[in-house]
Structure 1
Amino acid sequence: MRILYFYPENPLMFTQGNNARALSLLRYFKSRNIKVDFVGEESDDFKEDSILEMKSIGLIAEGFLLKRGNRKSKRIKYLLTYSLPRKMNRSVKDFDRTKFEHKEQFAEIIESRNYDYKIISYAYWASLLDNTKKGDNEKWIIDTHDFLTSQFQTNKKFSLSDYFQTEISVLKKFDRVWVISNEEKYVFSQFLDNQLDLITHSLPNNAQDRHVNAKNIDVVYVASENEHNVKSARWFFENVYPNIKRDIKITVIGKIAKYIPEFENVEKIKFIEDLDGVYKKAKIAICPMLSGTGLKIKVVESLSYGLPVVCNERGIDGLLNKTNNGCLVTNCPLEFANYINKLLQEEEFYEAKSLEASKFFIENFDINSTHKVLDDIFFADKKSHSL
């Protein structure tokens, strides 16, 4: 079996939740000996050295990066094949993130290769398939990652009907639609006849030795620098942080760190190679999240280590159960701070929430159960022939 997997960002930069999900899928493919040709978008954080690393550790068979075409040296081509067609196209432009010459490069990559499945991440990259022909036995899969219409609602020209209609029309082009949460599955199922699969984030159970490692990080906060995280981080440090005891050590990891002021008890790490060591040393995790949709990958990661999570209501989006899941949920700054203080002061309370986090994770996100869902998708034909 051979799969073409498009994911625009660098899966090896797993301090971002979406990248961690992509890396998890690549590890699944590797575990099943499925050959994967990977296509991404070149950026400052994604160069050929990362492609070579992915190949060296056996995550992919071949890897390619789409590069933006030089419109200065190809002005006429840029005007005729990219700029004017985009201006004349009345569909919502936010649902097409391809750059000049991306579609041509993508078509060239797959031209001489046969695939059983082509998987595209995010609806706004689906247009990469516009210039390609589907093979007779080939299946197209869209991994939605999120309900994108909601992400654009602050745009000045946002129209709910136009955006939602565009998103649905894009998804209809695919044989299977992957969603990451039950909420999104419910919304899309009302408008799609495609096969919808709930492919939640999967991780191994990391809480087995949660009492073995020394815990010298009181609070860990992992986040990227998207607009939702920036707004939420400011809310936390302006409204919650003043109510937290000053002897509590907070470690902030990820690009969100550059938006956080200097505090004596706050350590900021913009990038780290391996989050495993951090999670093992942490006592609790926080996920301040005021907006945004979809499953919060960092919440799932924290639960996999048996870490109680203090978060806002948006932090539990995508979780199958909204209670008894290891999360303490509130939108009140004072209560948010009090939860942190209580977890670190009351051992019995902490242990109860830690056990709750581990139990909920094993029941819903453990790698074995999630991989079974993927096996049913990719090996269903083999199973039916063997019956």
Structure 2
Amino acid sequence: MKVLILTYRVPFPPNSGYPIVVYNTIKGLLKLGAEITLFSINGSKNRVDIDDIYDPVFEQIGFHSYNIDTEVNIWGAFFNIFSNQSYNVSRFYDDDAARLLENILREHEFDIIQFEGLYVVPYLDTVKENSKAKLVYRAHNIEYDVWERLAAREQFRPRRKYLEFLSRRLKVYETEQLNRFHQVFAISHPDRQQILLMGCQTRLDVFPVAIDFDKYHVDLKKTSFPTLFHLGAMDWRPNKEGLEWFLDEIWPDIETLSGELRFYIAGKNMQKQFFEYDSENLIVESEVFDAIEFMNSKAIMIVPLLSGSGMRVKIIEGMAMQKCIIATTMAAEGINCEPGKDILIADTPDEFYRSILQCITQPNRWREIGKNARKTVERDHEIYSNAKRMFEIYEKLLY
């Protein structure tokens, strides 16, 4: 089976949510014998030097990419107001990239073409004009919902109005595209329900984040206690917003619990303002070299997300590393977990305080939750069982 996958960023190395999801999809399908070609927009925000990619999965695929400046431009954003396009999406389209894709489609025949996320959907017309393949759309998020929730929390009125404008444009675009595919994959059951409410009438299945458990080796001897940690890209607005809330509203009380308690914050594109919080108990780092080893060395994962959609890949990874995760309801949305058993849910400063206090004073409690978390993700998020199910859906589309 010949599969073309379109992505809005290069999924090498697989060091954050979107690349991990795409990378593991490719890895799983390759093991099942699929021929994979990858076409990636190499945006300015997450630009990858293709010559620096050394990965056995990369060596097994046909690869094409096109560099695009996807940075937000104030004039581009302003003039977009007078168009009928979503500025969030249009930044990822380029005529030359479309011509490159057209050439690929003319030179190769594909059985399946999978669009990984909304930001490559602007190339759908090019694909339809040049291929008879079955078309699959995977919704990594309900994109308009992310911006709608951000707007609801924005207190500066002009910015809130613009965020509301962006979310409305996104909703129109997202809704219009859904039924242009032969198959839609949602990343979680709540997202599936939302997609149905948006009027999706095409085939719809759920494919959660899948991970390769061979990468997640737990060594409790390396875990220091009592330690808290937060790990996430700080250029993603929901991460930044949630961490600010935690540090301003919750951390001052937590810090007084124990002089030995340490809270580690890490992630790429760490904003300058977070270094101002740095203290003896709060250690602010930038991007870590090995995220898995970073998680291995810490005990309790804090995920104070207040907005967003989809499924938090870092939570899945944390569960795979047997971490006790304390997260908001929003952060845990879509993950088939049981509060109090394999995760702790906290939505208010008081709930975070009580959960952290419980973990610090009852070490066996956080270890038990971590063990249960590992069992949960092994059940629901194993890479090859998910790939096999995806492959079977491809076969049904073709025959």
Q: TM tier, shorter chain?
A: 0.7 to 0.9
Mapped to 1, the partners of 2:56 and 2:49 lie a distance apart of 11
Verify the 8 A CA contact 2:32 2:388 in the aligned structure 1.
no
Q: How big is the shift at 1:321?
A: 4.1
Match of 1:73 in 2: none
Alpha-carbon distance between aligned partners in 1 of 2:92 and 2:270, rounded to the nearest angstrom: 29
The answer to whether residue 205 in structure 2 is matched with residue 197 in structure 1 is yes
Paired position in structure 2 for 1:108 = 103
Residue 177 of structure 1 pairs with residue 184 of structure 2 = yes
Aligned equivalent of 2:161: 156
Aligned letter for 1:33? G
Distance 1:265 1:15, change over 3 A: farther
**1:117 and 1:139 in contact (8 A); partners too:** yes
Distance 1:269 1:117, change over 3 A: farther
Tell me the CA shift for residue 161 of structure 1. Answer: 6.7
Secondary structure at 2:209 match in 1: coil
How far the C-alpha of 1:53 sits from its partner, in A, is: 3.0
Q: Equivalents in 2 of 1:284, 1:356: separation in Å?
A: 14
Specify the SS of the correspondent of 1:37: strand
Is this contact kept in 2: 1:98–1:128, CA < 8 A? no
Aligned ranges for residues 241-256 of structure 1 at < 5 Å? Answer: 241-244=251-254, 245-255=258-268
Provide the rounded CA distance (Å) in 2 between the counterparts of 1:206 and 1:285: 21
- 2:290 aligned partner: 274
Moved more, 257-266 or 200-209: 200-209
Q: Which residue of 2 aligns with 1:295?
A: 311
2:223 counterpart residue number: 215
Structure 2 CA distance, aligned partners of 1:348 and 1:87? 55
Distance change in 2, residues 1:256/1:52 (3 Å)? closer
TM-aligned CA deviation for residue 25 of structure 1: 1.5
Q: What letter is aligned with 1:234? A: E
Aligned pair in 2 of structure 1 residues 87, 210: CA closer, same or farther (>3 Å)? closer
Name stretches of at least 5 consecutive residues in structure 1 with no aligned partner. Answer: 70-81
Q: Kindly provide the amino acid, as one letter, of the partner of residue 174 in structure 2.
A: E
Q: CA RMSD in A?
A: 3.2
Q: Is the 8 A contact 1:15 1:272 kept in 2?
A: no
CA 1:92 to 1:331, structure 2 compared with 1: closer, same or farther past 3 Å? same
Q: How far does residue 117 in structure 1 lie from its aligned partner after superposition?
A: 1.5
Change (3 A) 1:68 1:316: closer
Deviation at 1:147, TM superposition (A): 0.6
Alignment partner of 1:257 out of 270, 284, 291:
270
Match of 1:74 in 2: none
CA distance in 1, matches of 2:106, 2:279: 54
User: Which residue identity does 1:220 align to in structure 2?
Assistant: F
How many equivalent pairs are there? 370
Which digits, 9 at most, give the CA deviation of each residue in 1:216-242, with x for residues without a partner? 362231111211111111111112211
For 1:96, give the aligned amino acid: S
Q: Deviations over 1:87-132 (max 9, x none)?
A: 8853544443334433233323433222121111222321112233
Cα shift at 1:146: 0.5
1:50-80 deviation line (CA, Å, top 9, x unaligned): 67435775353223224359xxxxxxxxxxx
- Measure the CA separation in 1 of the matches of 2:86 and 2:358: 48
Amino acid at match of 1:47: V
With normalisation by structure 1, the TM-score equals: 0.83
Amino acid at match of 1:128: Y
Task: Return the alpha-carbon distance in structure 2 between the equivalents of residues 314 and 290 of structure 1.
Answer: 6
Could you say if the C-alpha distance between residues 44 and 168 of structure 1 is closer, same or farther in structure 2, counting changes exceeding 3 Å?
A: closer
Larger RCO: Structure 1 or Structure 2 (Cα < 8 Å, ≥ 6 residues apart)?
2
Separation (CA, whole Å) in 1 of partners of 2:279 and 2:14: 26
Take 2:99 and 2:82, find their aligned partners in 1: how far apart are those partners? Answer: 20
Change (3 A) 1:358 1:142: same
Q: 1:87 to 1:299 in 2, by over 3 A?
A: closer
Distance, in Å, in 1 between the alignment partners of 2:125 and 2:131 is: 17
The aligned runs of 1:21-60 (5 Å cut-off) are 21-42=21-42, 43=44, 45-49=46-50, 52-54=53-55, 57-58=58-59, 60=61
Q: Which has the higher helix share?
A: 2
Secondary structure in 2 matching 1:221: strand
